[in-house]
């Protein structure tokens, strides 16, 4: 009997993940997680980036793959840092025994950062107020200052860089905190826009050093830039979606070399029905059978994260062939057209996985749903059991 690491959830905040037994009989709705793929993807991304440090992003429960599973696999593949959005996510990793360097960067300004700093978790600060709050509640904590270089999200605005760096340097001299790094994020709008952001970041680094700071970690690039842009000016990259073998470009044809999907979403045929020509299928009868055909009922739907927007557009792998989804995707189920082929109740259906097996990819589903592969894997719901591949 295998075990898999799962989030317990259900409380007022994130809880530590736990290991539970997985029976020999596969659960009805399953996401097979290939930890070796995550480790291999990290190796490929590290080789492409070439930076001394590599941060693996496991926010949002490891992009739906399981944060602890993803973190352990990434570290096995050579990651030197682990990143989360929220401090609570980082604390859950510590509680699960992940002892690697951690960075969390979406902070509540009024929080008490003492418990986070006590677990040696770096805090990504985006304002002077956050700097002051860290110094007041977690003396001596390590921070990394996030800068806005053109994305207009969190991060210190350029007009405030000088003042924030001076404040940080003063607090560092007083022993109130330690500035370990500076970082930002690219918009991936164009090569020219990314180059301008890199120039702004270089200006910020010079300004910080002029104020007396000496940050060891300088990082700007996520998966897209880490695999396409020169990283010689930086000491670390932060890779997220690439860990999981999903394209950072929203294009199934543009998956960086050496990456393979880590999640396979699968279930089994729940019912088989032969229908005559003209039969309406699922809600609103947006599709009617043009000729007699066989329909296979698949027990996955939008409650499980399967996007309704992909109705009548998506495909699945069933019986060794790609089969079209027909009619509306419902909350718990969808229908696929198998024509005159024989299928049986219990046959496995793969919604997405590794294209090398013939299955659609998460990126394919992103195209069918007018979104990106990131959203497809991250939205897979709790009814779907994560099991080892």
188, part of any domain: yes
- What pLDDT sits at residue 179? 98
Residue 187 sits in the same domain as residue 280: no
Candidate list 63, 146, 244, 283, residue with the active-site label? 283
Mean pLDDT, residues 195-213 taken together: 97
- What pLDDT sits at residue 328? 98
How far is the CA of 138 from the CAs of 52, 86, 104, 128, 177, in angstroms?
28, 17, 15, 15, 8
Of 244, 272, 293, the last residue of a domain is: 244
Range scoring the smallest mean pLDDT among 4-18, 195-209, 268-282, 298-312: 4-18
How far is the CA of 267 from the CAs of 40, 231, 345, in angstroms?
26, 42, 11
Q: What is the separation, in whole angstroms, between the first and last Cα of the chain?
A: 13
Mean pLDDT, residues 126-142 taken together: 97
pLDDT in tens, 48-90: 999 999 999 999 999 999 999 999 999 999 999 999 999 999 9
Mean pLDDT, residues 282-291 taken together: 97
Q: Domain range holding 178?
A: 35-244
Mean pLDDT, residues 116-128 taken together: 97
Number of domains in the chain: 2
15, part of any domain: no
Active site residue 59: yes
pLDDT in tens, 352-374: 999 999 999 999 999 999 999 99
Whether residue 22 has pLDDT greater than 70: no
Whether residue 284 has pLDDT greater than 50: yes
Binding residues for substrate, by number, are: 153, 331
Whether residue 264 has pLDDT greater than 50: yes
Q: How far apart are CA 127 and CA 110, in angstroms?
A: 12
Q: Kindly write down the DSSP assignment for every residue of 326-378, as one continuous string.
A: ES---SS-EEEEEET----TT-EEEEE--GGGTPPPHHHHHHHTTS-HHHHHH
Residue 179 sits in the same domain as residue 134: yes
Considering the chain, what is the average pLDDT of its residues?
A: 94
Residue 212 sits in the same domain as residue 292: no
pLDDT class of 24 with cuts at 50, 70, 90: low
25, part of any domain: no
16, part of any domain: no
Q: Select the more confidently predicted residue: 23 or 144.
A: 144
254, part of any domain: no
In angstroms and rounded to an integer, the radius of gyration of the C-alpha atoms of the chain is: 23
Per the document, the length of the chain is 389
The pair of structure tokens assigned to 197 is 């952001």
pLDDT class of 11 with cuts at 50, 70, 90: very low
- What pLDDT sits at residue 12? 41
* 82 membership: H or E segment, kind and range: strand 81-84
Residue 85 sits in the same domain as residue 231: yes
Of 213, 244, 275, the last residue of a domain is: 244
* 225 membership: H or E segment, kind and range: helix 223-226
Residue 224 sits in the same domain as residue 349: no
Residue 271 sits in the same domain as residue 177: no
Candidate list 59, 63, 244, 374, residue with the active-site label? 59
Range scoring the smallest mean pLDDT among 12-26, 116-130, 163-177, 320-334: 12-26
Provide the percentage of residues in the chain whose pLDDT is more than 90.
Answer: 92
- What pLDDT sits at residue 25? 73
**Contact (CB, 8 A) for 87 and 116:** yes
276 by Cβ neighbours in 10 Å (0-12 / 13-18 / 19+) ranks as exposed
Range scoring the smallest mean pLDDT among 18-27, 194-203, 246-255, 270-279: 18-27
Question: Rounded to 5 degrees, what angle do the CA atoms 389, 359, 238 make?
Answer: 65
**Contact (CB, 8 A) for 251 and 241:** no
317, part of any domain: yes
Mean pLDDT, residues 13-31 taken together: 62
Angle between helices 128-137 and 161-173 (to 10 degrees): 20
268, part of any domain: yes
Strand-pair partners of 263: 33
Q: How far apart are CA 326 and CA 279, in angstroms?
A: 12
Considering only CA atoms, which of 1, 50, 53, 38 is closest in space to residue 23?
1
Residue 64 sits in the same domain as residue 198: yes
Residue 226 sits in the same domain as residue 280: no
Mean pLDDT, residues 181-202 taken together: 95
pLDDT class of 16 with cuts at 50, 70, 90: very low
Domain CATH code at residue 303: 2.40.37.10
- What pLDDT sits at residue 6? 43
223, part of any domain: yes
Residue 276 sits in the same domain as residue 227: no
Domain CATH code at residue 211: 3.20.20.10
Strand-pair partners of 83: 57, 103
Residue 330 sits in the same domain as residue 226: no
Whether residue 13 has pLDDT greater than 80: no
How far is the CA of 147 from the CAs of 72, 153, 355, in angstroms?
29, 9, 38
Of 244, 279, 308, the last residue of a domain is: 244
Mean pLDDT, residues 369-386 taken together: 98
Residue 333 sits in the same domain as residue 364: yes
Residue 157 sits in the same domain as residue 269: no
Binding residues, by number, are: 153, 331
- What pLDDT sits at residue 23? 45
């Amino acid at each position: 009997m295998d075990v898999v690491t799962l989030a317990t959830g259900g409380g007022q905040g994130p809880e530590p993940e736990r290991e539970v037994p997985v029976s020999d009989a596969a659960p009805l709705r399953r996401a097979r997680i290939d930890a070796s793929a995550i480790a291999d993807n990290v190796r490929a991304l590290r080789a492409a980036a070439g930076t001394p440090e590599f941060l693996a992003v496991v926010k949002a429960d490891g992009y739906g793959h399981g944060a602890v599973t993803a973190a352990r696999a990434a570290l096995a593949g050579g990651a030197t840092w682990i990143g989360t959005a929220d401090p609570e996510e980082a604390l859950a990793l510590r509680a699960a025994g992940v002892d690697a360097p951690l960075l969390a960067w979406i902070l509540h300004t009024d929080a008490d950062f003492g418990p986070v700093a006590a677990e040696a978790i770096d805090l990504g600060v985006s304002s002077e107020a956050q700097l002051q709050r860290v110094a007041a509640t977690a003396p001596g904590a390590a921070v990394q200052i996030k800068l806005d270089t053109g994305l207009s999200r969190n991060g210190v605005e350029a007009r405030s860089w000088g003042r924030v760096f001076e404040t940080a340097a003063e607090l560092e001299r007083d022993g109130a905190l330690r500035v370990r790094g500076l970082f930002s994020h690219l918009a991936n709008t164009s090569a020219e826009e990314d180059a301008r952001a890199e120039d702004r970041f270089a200006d910020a680094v010079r300004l910080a050093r002029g104020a007396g700071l000496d940050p060891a970690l300088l990082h700007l690039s996520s998966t897209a830039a880490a695999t396409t842009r020169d990283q010689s000016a930086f000491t670390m990259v932060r890779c997220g979606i690439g860990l999981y073998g999903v394209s950072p470009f929203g294009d199934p044809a543009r998956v960086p070399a050496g990456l393979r999907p880590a999640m396979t979403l699968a279930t089994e045929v729940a019912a088989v029905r032969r229908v005559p020509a003209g039969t309406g299928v699922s809600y609103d009868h947006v599709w009617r059978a043009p000729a007699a055909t066989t329909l296979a009922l698949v027990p996955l739907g939008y409650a499980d994260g399967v996007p309704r927007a992909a109705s009548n557009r998506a495909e699945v792998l069933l019986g060794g062939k790609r089969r079209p989804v027909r009619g509306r995707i419902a909350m718990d189920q969808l229908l696929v057209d198998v024509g005159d082929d024989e299928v049986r109740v219990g046959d496995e259906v793969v919604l997405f996985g590794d294209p090398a097996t013939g299955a659609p990819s998460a990126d394919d589903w992103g195209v069918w749903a007018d979104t990106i592969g990131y959203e497809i894997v991250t939205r897979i719901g709790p009814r779907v059991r994560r099991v080892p591949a």
